Amino acid sequence: MVRIAWIVAACGLLSSACTIEMCEPADFLNACPANIDPVANAGPDQAVAVGDFVLLDGSFSTDEDVITCCAEPNDLIIRMGGEVRTYRWVQTTGDAVDLEGPDSVTPSFTAPATPGERTFELTVTDDRGGTNTDQVTITIAAPDAAGGGSAESGG
């Protein structure tokens, strides 16, 4: 099995994220994609207050590619960690906020004075041009809406 030994060695050289498994009969029936799209993760929904610093987090977005798969029975599946290359955040609902770093992994904004929901869509692109999207909702609550007492008093 010289070929398999070479593949195993190459997998280790290419990436520490590379893993190998044997094809199952069910896999053999499936076509092998050249690229697998990344999986966008826009982070958990957040509940914040007016004036809060809000950080969006797309760092849990992932990409995993199949380099070789089941061309024939007993072939090997090699999964090698792909790479998310670009991030793009766009606000999709609610009054516009001033988003800093919309092309970064973790853009931020200051919750504006207008309460309500703001929804953002994250689009990630991997190293082979595959894309995926995910949404996150930030709910901005009015400050002390019940009109209760405050420890601080204005001048």
Using CB under 5 A as the criterion, which residues of the chain lie in contact with Ca ion when the complex forms? 35-36, 63, 65, 82, 126, 130
Cβ-based nearer residue to Ca ion, 54 or 84: 84
| Smallest separation, CB 33 to Ca ion (Å) | 9
**Of 14 and 96, CB closest to Ca ion:** 14
* Cα–Cα distance, 88 to 123 (Å, whole number): 5
Cite the beta strand spans of 24-130 per DSSP E: 46-49, 53-55, 64-68, 76-81, 84-93, 108-110, 116-126
Cα four-point dihedral sign 75, 81, 83, 84: positive
Would you say 18 or 54 has its CB closer to Ca ion? Answer: 18
Minimum Å distance from CB 66 to Ca ion?
9
Nearest approach, Cβ of 127 to Ca ion (angstroms)?
7
